[in-house]
């Protein structure tokens, strides 16, 4: 599964793959893991609750929002918003600006709506049920774009990032955060992930690309940041 809080088409696995299991137990284990990649139904709501309350998720999301250096009045887009943790932090920063959350799971979007009901009601938040490869044409003109534990699982990530760059204002900031969650995750592995993300940002035309590294609950976390040209 992808990181709790991001969709399958825009979300990375937040836990190690389960041990190989066979029969009914194996099918059930795979079903549970799939709920974090594409939450649906009762189990999907449970997965969303876990995403929202897991300490490592909360730490990664808030750190990413801080790195974006959002300002009051900014417009910000999150790919794979899940139950809306990072959106809540972004809304605090942009004030009367606009936050847009995209996720392909209607189940967790409902949780994001509930968590951020005031911003949704007064028009400071928009939620979109789509995958990153199929965003509505009117989502554009953003000062900031980010994704947490998701870009590593996008199909054709450089193409996706180039498309996102075209939806950003000149000089807009982008942040791609990843925390490898395998049982044997190391800082070296995290830095390799950061190198991959940074190279993809450069290939997609972003400038001033840099990497930040932090140690959090669950292990090392990296964030590749860049700016849209102009």
pLDDT computed for residue 63 by the predictor: 97
Residue 129: helix, strand or coil by DSSP? Answer: strand
Backbone CA torsion sign across 117, 221, 80, 226: positive
**pLDDT category, 215, cuts 50, 70, 90?**
confident
Alpha helices for the chain (secondary structure H):
23-37, 41-53, 55-67, 85-94, 106-115, 117-121, 157-165, 187-203
What number is the average pLDDT over the span 89-115?
93
Separation of CA 115 from chain center: 17
pTM of the entire predicted model: 0.79
DSSP output for 163-204: HHHTTEEEEEEEEEEE---STT--HHHHHHHHHHHHHHHHHT
Per-residue pLDDT at 49 exceeds 70: no
Q: Are 48 and 36 in contact (CB under 8 A)?
A: no
Residue predicted with more confidence, 42 or 112:
112
pLDDT computed for residue 3 by the predictor: 40
Per-residue pLDDT at 199 exceeds 50: yes
Radius of gyration of the chain (CA): 17
Range from 22-26, 53-57, 135-139, 202-206 carrying the lowest mean pLDDT: 22-26
Q: Give residue-wise pLDDT tens across range 81-94.
A: 988 999 999 999 99
What number is the average pLDDT over the span 16-22?
44
What number is the average pLDDT over the span 144-164?
93
Instruction: Please state, in angstroms and rounded to a whole number, the distance separating the CA atoms of residues 35 and 21.
Output: 17
Mean pLDDT of the chain: 81
pLDDT computed for residue 11 by the predictor: 40
195: how many CB neighbours lie within 10 A of its CB?
13
Range from 104-113, 136-145, 156-165, 182-191 carrying the lowest mean pLDDT: 182-191
Report which secondary-structure segment, H or E, holds 14.
Answer: none
pLDDT computed for residue 87 by the predictor: 95
pLDDT computed for residue 28 by the predictor: 39
The residues, ordered by sequence, that sit 6+ positions from 35 with a Cβ below 8 Å of its Cβ are 1, 43, 44, 46, 47
What number is the average pLDDT over the span 98-121?
92
Q: Give residue-wise pLDDT tens across range 58-82.
A: 898 999 999 999 999 999 999 999 8
């Amino acid at each position: 599964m992808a990181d709790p809080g991001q969709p399958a088409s825009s979300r990375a696995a937040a836990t190690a793959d389960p041990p190989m299991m066979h029969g009914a137990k194996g099918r059930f284990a795979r079903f549970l893991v799939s709920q974090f990649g594409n939450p649906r139904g009762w189990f999907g709501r449970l997965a969303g609750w876990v995403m929202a309350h897991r300490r490592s998720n909360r730490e990664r999301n808030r750190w990413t929002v801080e790195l974006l250096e959002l300002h009051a009045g900014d417009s910000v887009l999150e790919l794979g918003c899940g139950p809306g943790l990072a959106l809540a932090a972004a809304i605090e920063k942009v004030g009367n600006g606009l936050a847009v959350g995209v996720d392909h799971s209607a189940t967790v979007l409902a949780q994001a709506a509930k968590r951020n009901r005031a911003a949704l009601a007064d028009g400071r938040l928009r939620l979109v049920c789509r995958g990153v490869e199929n965003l509505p044409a009117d989502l554009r003109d953003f000062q900031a774009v980010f994704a947490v534990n998701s870009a590593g699982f996008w199909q054709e990530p450089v193409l996706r990032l180039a498309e996102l760059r075209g939806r950003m204002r000149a000089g807009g900031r982008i942040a791609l955060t990843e925390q490898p969650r395998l049982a044997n995750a190391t800082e070296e592995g995290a830095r390799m992930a950061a190198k991959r993300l940074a190279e993809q940002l450069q290939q997609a035309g972003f400038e001033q690309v840099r990497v930040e590294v932090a140690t959090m609950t669950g292990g090392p976390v990296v964030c590749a940041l860049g700016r849209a040209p102009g």
